[in-house]
Amino acid sequence: MLSHRIFYLKVKWGSMRFLDLFHKIDNIFFMGFPYTRPRRLRKNTLIRDMVAETELSVKDLIYPIFVEFGKGGEVKSMPGVFRYNVRDVGKIAKEVEALGIPAVILFGIPDKKDEVASGAYDEKGVVQEAIREIKEKTELVVIADVCLCEYTSHGHCGVVKNGKILNDPTLELLSKTAVSLAKAGADVVAPSDMMDGRVSAIRKALDKEGFEDVLIMAYSAKYASAFYGPFREAAESAPAFGDRSTYQMDMRNAREALKEVKMDIEEGADIVMVKPALSYLDIIYRVKELTNIPVAAYNVSGEYALIKAGEKLGWVDGKKVMMEVLYSIKRAGADLILTYFAKEVALILKE
Ligand code: PBG
């Protein structure tokens, strides 16, 4: 390369002024412009595709599904997202499978809520029924979210006493819930409550019941976020008093996320998750650097709703923004993405 450059220099010698010569010598040693032209790699679609650093595959996607005993309907703040009756969920799951999406994650809206979240670990609970229905109709990987907030009358993710959310008594209920979901056929349980020690409690309970093959995908770095708004409308899970800031993480912290992730791995998590995704890409990146286990990211309801709203107003190109967001999550390091866009993206990736 160097000899080639010296030759080039000789050929051009005649017409060269001192300053040009200076630049040429500079380039020989520092390889800058005009020898290096980044735009060459962007010349056309084929070249761009050949050198693209990030791949987004339908196999990376997990589609969230809301199930209920009622007749269901569209979630107002999430156009294109529905609550489904348990009996319809097999059909929906088949559509998801036909698109090549490998997994769904289930959230349930029970008929009745109480202080101890009975619906969460009821053998005939709404998610338990949905799991059986999906397993009967498809080969999909079925992930069950493990949390109490959809099932408690106060809407908190744990047992409440005197206005306090108690940690250790909650672990028992979470373990019971995880076992019940595994019994119904869940391949993966995903604790999203952010109680301390829930991964080891759930792991122990599953193993004791003979479910050592059931995976745990832990919502390890889950932030107390305003981006969950539309989900809480969909799942009717908004807390009746206070907020979730005594258990979910503070948005100002990054190193603390690494502590949470490390603890969850030590306790037996198979996959760790960062949630939300878009305002926390730096966390995804750091978690990926830290671990050697798969990293998931949750592209949450508010992130979905904002894009849909912008599209509806005609202010942004919704499809393009969607792709940009999903690629950014992958580029940051996510191996898996939970997203309400899964079906839409699958169609685009198929083209
Ligand atoms: C349950 C749970 C929530 C989400 C997933 N599991 C809501 C919350 O923590 O309040 C949010 C998902 C989303 O916004 O898409 N704890």
Identify the residue whose C-alpha is closest to ligand 1 atom 6.
192
Q: In ligand 1, which atom is closest to the CA atom of 150?
A: 1
Residue 214 has what pLDDT? 98
Angle between helices 126-137 and 89-98 (to 10 degrees): 50
The three-state secondary structure class of 238 is coil
Q: What is the pLDDT of residues 255-293, one digit of tens each?
A: 999 999 999 999 999 999 999 999 999 999 999 999 999
Q: How far is the CA of 228 from the centre of ligand 1 (A)?
A: 6
Q: How far is the CA of 150 from the centre of ligand 1 (A)?
A: 10
Give the residue ranges of the chain where pLDDT is below 50: 1-4, 7, 11
Sign of the CA dihedral running 50, 52, 54, 58: negative
Residue 250 DSSP class: P
Q: Give the Cα separation of 269 and 252 in Å (integer).
A: 24
Tell me how far apart the terminal alpha carbons of the chain are, to the nearest angstrom: 41
| Single pTM value for the model | 0.91
Residue 35 has what pLDDT? 86
Residue 1 has what pLDDT? 46
Pocket test for ligand 1, best of 63, 146, 147, 219 (most atoms within 8 A of CB): 147
Tokens 């932030």 — which residue? Answer: 223
288 is catalytic: no
Kindly state the helix (H) or strand (E) to which residue 330 belongs, with its residue range. helix 318-332
| Average of per-residue pLDDT values in the chain | 94
275 is catalytic: yes
Q: What is the pLDDT of residues 83-135, one digit of tens each?
A: 999 999 999 999 999 999 999 999 999 999 999 999 999 999 999 999 999 99
